[in-house]
Chains A and B, each alone.
Chain A
Amino acid sequence: MTGNPALAPAPVVEIAHLNKSYRRGSQVLPVLQDINLTIQAGEFLALMGPSGSGKTTLLNLIAGLDRPDSGHLTVHGINLPALTESQLADWRAANVGFIFQFYQLIPVLTAYENVELPLLLTRLSRRERQEHVDLVLELVSLSDRQHHYPGQLSGGQQQRVAIARALVTDPTLIAADEPTGDLDKKSAGEIMDLLTQLNREFQKTIIIVTHDPEAAAHAGRIRRLIKGQLLNESEPQED
């Protein structure tokens, strides 16, 4: 199942022979080794694997937050490693919405203002920005909480604000790093339902990193990372 079947499968993310290592002093620590992965438009992919296996690192590479050491990495046909810092920032602003485990809302801004933030980088007028913000807050059912500060919202509500923020620029790619990791079962279910809805109704390509099999079950496809290597899709699961 790949989102909207009417949409001809076109690769959004193409990764081949991707390597990434971190340097700790003189020691080189390989984190990702020879990753090969293709994600189609409108796909909902879950990355699973034990802690330290490199899930976050891979997600960051795809979302243009970090750079690989070697290998091929294109998103929407754009060769991300070739972009400058500034071009990469512009690309992120236009193409990616990021969701974090701990929501990462700005505590001194209201829900509305938090969601509005990414739009400040666009040419939209105040009026247009308001329309966009109202729309996505409506979508995450938080219109009545728009003037609350993050501290006045529950974890689940904060994560919905974060989703609205990721969504407000209408990016094609949504990257979520353990979006339910800090939530109770019920809130986690709501968040996953919301992401599923975004995938189904709006054809968003979604990549989530998760430890939670229940959350992963919402995804159309699950890939596992172990010690920096992607298991073949056919290989048996053991998380």
Chain B
Amino acid sequence: MLKLTWRNITRHPLRAALTILGMAVAVLAFTLLRTVVAAWYAGVNAASPARLVCRNAISLVFPLPIAYLPKVQAIPGIEAVAYGRWFGGNYIDERHFFPKFAVDVRRYFAIYPEYVMPEDQKLAFMKDRRGAAVGRTLATRYGWKLGDSVVIKGNIYPGEWPFIIRAIYTGAEPTTDESRFFFHWDYLNESLKKSATSRADNVGWFLIKVARPELAPLVAAQVDALFKNSLAETLTETEQAFALGFVSMTEAILLAIQVVSWVVIGVILIVLANTMAMNARERRGEYAVLKTMGFKGRHLAGLIFGESLILALAGGLVGEVLTFPAVHFFKVSMGQYFRVFPLTRATLILGLAVALAVGLLAALLPAWRASRVSIAEALRKVG
């Protein structure tokens, strides 16, 4: 019977090939679109529930005074506090975008164990006031090596800012962003003290690591209460909520992408169902003949389901194999727009599961029809 299933598939090689190809393209589109969505959400997923972000209550663009640091640190339940500031600025020109952060290096990287760098590089980075740590993706993109000097043109903070690459970090997780540029907050602050005193001694946000995730809401409330009615009130939320805030404006687009990914699957379902219906209709006579020999509806259904599943899964596998170079291409050509571009196992499994479901659904109606074929009537038509 398996042989017959296989021979039935190869009966119309072109039809089978086109169906598999269509299925492959659909699954490719599906996994790719899902990966784009995942890329957007990556920041959210990478966030730890034990980390809080404390920023100016009015808006992220307003800073907080560094003087808050000891007060925050004094709150019970807090394990560590670090701080950072968005630098902006351009490398070469605006098109070469990557996020640049001024951070208090020592504590910042203690709170972020997912940024992994060799110990000697870390030391060198910490020691060098002008040192910078960059992600692997970034280093690869610009061919940076340790010791290279890089000049960033400031816009928020005008002037030319020279840095020396001292460390290249890698992500501990596939969702970790490997395209960030970190340098010393002290370096920025000292320059500001000389050139723009009013802007010195400020941070963009405090990063708070709580001892246990359950403490997060309580600690957040305490921090915000502490600075209530002060000049700069704070808004403290989990890193996840913070990252979601960034994503939410694109929520509608993400939803649209997800809808499209399912529409693509719907279209291929119709195509495969049509192919299967066409095949089954052509073979009505053969099904009737098989029935005269004593084959039953379930045998015929098995033939049809087998054929449909093989077509769908073959297409699904081809599509998934194609996904790898496609994702790689995306990463290379559009990497700067996405923090990470994670092709996860879950996406791949979902892609195959969807192919499987399409195969089953497409065979449903033809199998039901074939199992109900009336022998006498079908034979009359074929002689």
CB distance from B228 to the nearest CB of A (A): 78
Docked pose: A119 CA to B1 CA in angstroms: 11
Encode B1-14 as 1/0 by CB contact (under 8 A) with A: 10110011011000
Confirm or deny: A227 has a beta carbon within 8 angstroms of a beta carbon on chain B: no
* Known contacts A60-B376, A66-B375, A66-B376; A104 and B294 CB within 8 A of each other: no
Is A113's CB under 8 angstroms from B293's CB?
no
A117: chain B residues within 8 A (beta carbon): 290, 293
Is B382's CB under 8 angstroms from A102's CB?
yes
* Known contacts A60-B375, A65-B375, A106-B286; A98 and B293 CB within 8 A of each other: yes
Encode A73-91 as 1/0 by CB contact (under 8 A) with B: 0000000000001100111
Confirm or deny: A120 has a beta carbon within 8 angstroms of a beta carbon on chain B: yes
B297: chain A residues within 8 A (beta carbon): 85
Which of B10, B295, B380 has a CB less than 8 Å from the CB of A89?
Answer: B295
Complex: chain A residue closest to B296, CB-CB? A89
CB distance from B155 to the nearest CB of A (A): 69
CB distance from B242 to the nearest CB of A (A): 61
Is B4's CB under 8 angstroms from A94's CB?
no
CB distance from A223 to the nearest CB of B (A): 20
Complex: chain B residue closest to A57, CB-CB? B376
Docked pose: A101 CA to B379 CA in angstroms: 10
Confirm or deny: B289 has a beta carbon within 8 angstroms of a beta carbon on chain A: yes
Docked pose: A86 CA to B295 CA in angstroms: 9
List the count of A-B residue pairs having beta carbons below 8 Å apart.
66
Confirm or deny: A231 has a beta carbon within 8 angstroms of a beta carbon on chain B: no
Docked pose: A165 CA to B297 CA in angstroms: 20
Is B383's CB under 8 angstroms from A89's CB?
no
Complex: chain A residue closest to B7, CB-CB? A108
A100: chain B residues within 8 A (beta carbon): 289, 379, 383
Confirm or deny: A93 has a beta carbon within 8 angstroms of a beta carbon on chain B: yes
B interface residues, how many (CB within 8 angstroms): 25
A interface residues, how many (CB within 8 angstroms): 30
Docked pose: A118 CA to B382 CA in angstroms: 20
Docked pose: A9 CA to B12 CA in angstroms: 51
A165: chain B residues within 8 A (beta carbon): 293
A121: chain B residues within 8 A (beta carbon): 293-295
Contact residues of B between 290 and 317, Cβ < 8 Å to A: 290-297
Chain A, interface SS category? helix
Is B4's CB under 8 angstroms from A92's CB?
no
Complex: chain B residue closest to A120, CB-CB? B1
A109: chain B residues within 8 A (beta carbon): 3-4, 7
Confirm or deny: B285 has a beta carbon within 8 angstroms of a beta carbon on chain A: yes
Is A89's CB under 8 angstroms from B3's CB?
no
Is B289's CB under 8 angstroms from A104's CB?
yes
CB distance from B286 to the nearest CB of A (A): 6
Docked pose: A65 CA to B289 CA in angstroms: 10
Contact residues of B between 330 and 383, Cβ < 8 Å to A: 374-376, 379-380, 382-383
Docked pose: A107 CA to B285 CA in angstroms: 12
Confirm or deny: A230 has a beta carbon within 8 angstroms of a beta carbon on chain B: no
* Known contacts A100-B383, A106-B286, A109-B3; A93 and B375 CB within 8 A of each other: no
Is A108's CB under 8 angstroms from B4's CB?
yes
A85: chain B residues within 8 A (beta carbon): 296-297
Docked pose: A115 CA to B291 CA in angstroms: 15
Is A89's CB under 8 angstroms from B291's CB?
yes
Docked pose: A100 CA to B376 CA in angstroms: 12
B11: chain A residues within 8 A (beta carbon): 107-108
Complex: chain A residue closest to B380, CB-CB? A56
Contact residues of B between 58 and 75, Cβ < 8 Å to A: none
Chain A residues at the B interface, C-beta cutoff of 8 Å = 56-57, 60, 63, 65-66, 85-86, 89-94, 96, 98, 100-102, 104, 106-109, 113, 117-118, 120-121, 165
Given A65-B376, A89-B291, A89-B296, 20 further pairs, Cβ under 8 A: A60-B375, A65-B291, A66-B376, A89-B294, A92-B294, A93-B294, A93-B295, A96-B292, A98-B292, A98-B293, A100-B383, A101-B383, A102-B383, A104-B286, A106-B4, A108-B8, A117-B290, A117-B293, A120-B1, A121-B295
Chain B residues at the A interface, C-beta cutoff of 8 Å = 1, 3-4, 7-8, 10-11, 285-286, 289-297, 374-376, 379-380, 382-383
What are 10 A-to-B residue pairs whose CB atoms are below 8 Å? A60-B376, A98-B292, A100-B379, A104-B382, A108-B7, A113-B3, A113-B4, A118-B294, A120-B1, A121-B293
